[in-house]
Structure 1
Amino acid sequence: MATIATVDTKTGGFSAASLLAPFRAVGRFMIMLAEASPQMRALSRLSEVSDEELKAKGLTRDGEIRRILGGAAAI
């Protein structure tokens, strides 16, 4: 005969997940803001273009990244 034991681990105190939840929410919000920027959308479109297509237009991936990011590309 088999015996099954269950353990109830609910506690009345705070858990680590509840303490970290606000930080995770802020992090998700910041990522959402960054992904919504025009630069990020342009970089996403650039990643869908092949090197051959860029070469046919006389462009390079490095040059397009610099154009999209402007001064931030120098960092």
Structure 2
Amino acid sequence: MAHTTANTTSIPAVFGVVADIFSGIFGALLQLNEASTKVRKIEALSALSDADLSARGVDRADIIRRVMTDTL
């Protein structure tokens, strides 16, 4: 007696895989955007004078730490 097995992938499973792929791509793009925003913020603060930074309560040495931890 012979046995056969048919392996099929359901349509919802395929859509789930495709959705996971697009979700991963979207997440990566969001991370790139956030990093780009932080770099622009660091550049803008670095361009300020020491007096302007002092008026904002920021020390030049703390710009990167404060931007990366969102404490500005």
TM-score normalised over the length of structure 1? 0.38
Bigger fraction of residues in helix: 2
